[in-house]
Amino acid sequence: MLMLLSLAMGEWLGIVTLFGIVLLHELGHLWMARRFGWTIREVKLLPFGGVLEVEEAGTVPAREEAWVAIAGPAQNVLLALFAGGASWAGLVDASWAQGFMKANALIALFNLLPILPLDGGKIAQAWLSHRIPYHRVLLWSSRLSLFCSAAVVLYAFVPLLQGQVPQLNVLAVGLFLCASNWTYRRNVPFVFLRFLVHRARRSEGRIDRGTLAQPIVVAEQRQPSEVVKLLMKERYHLVYVMRQGAVQRVVPEGQLIDRFLSALTNGHADLRFFM
């Protein structure tokens, strides 16, 4: 619809340039993801950016997620520098170069907003993964994304205060982000379950290389469905089960996850607990 409208208004060069920038932005993500050996399912191009869908979502190290997210805006920076250099050398028209640089800056800055599935939201999620349990990371990143998406929608109506027409393009993007993050919020239990299923493979790799374990201390009556919510994505855990101030047993995180998944398979655990 955006492309057809732009063609009707004689702005075909602008829309082609915009989608070219978006494509190169997404190729930055794609290149970095392939360097880490990720399996790419799909690349979606949108007017404000793109979405790279991969098989490894939520199961790879936060460091890799951060680098893949940063690669997109970094591509915009390189494009802007290239346009500036070409303009300085007289290879391209100065006004076109200025518009090209502005478009890259807008796309890069917008994608750095802390909203999923934008790059800034993924970077924020990776940063939180080093500091708080992963289940809490999923909940808080979804809440932050919904809040900021609503702020984008409200920002679209700011021109009304000056008697002008709302920014319909900003409104459309804000509504899309709200709908996307509302769906993500409802899917948090399944995202967390995917994290647990792939956790064992990553844990084995940490043990083989040697790692420092971070203890989790819980009372004996705590259920596995409660304790797995305390796992941090970037740590390996040993669970100390306590009774009246004394350690009853030490449970490796793999056994804890196996107990929870077995209970889930047998119908003794409820995914609604993770909402």
Task: Count CB atoms within 10 A of the CB of residue 176.
Answer: 16
pTM higher than 0.85, yes or no? no
Q: What is the mean pLDDT of residues 85-104?
A: 85
Cα–Cα distance measured from residue 257 to residue 213, given in angstroms and rounded to the nearest whole number: 16
> For residue 48, what pLDDT is reported?
56
Task: Count CB atoms within 10 A of the CB of residue 36.
Answer: 15
210: left (phi over 0), alpha (psi -120 to 50) or beta: left
> For residue 214, what pLDDT is reported?
86
Give the residue numbers spanning the domain of 162: 132-186
Pair 59, 144 in one domain: no
Pair 226, 260 in one domain: yes
Pair 110, 150 in one domain: no
> For residue 41, what pLDDT is reported?
82
Who's near 13: CB < 8 A, 6+ residues apart? none
Average pLDDT taken over every residue of the chain: 84
**pLDDT over 90 (residue 140):** yes
Name the domain boundary from 166, 186, 206.
186
Phi and psi at residue 259, to the nearest 5°: -65, -45
Pair 115, 162 in one domain: no
Q: To the nearest 10°, the Cα dihedral for 187, 189, 195, 196? A: -160
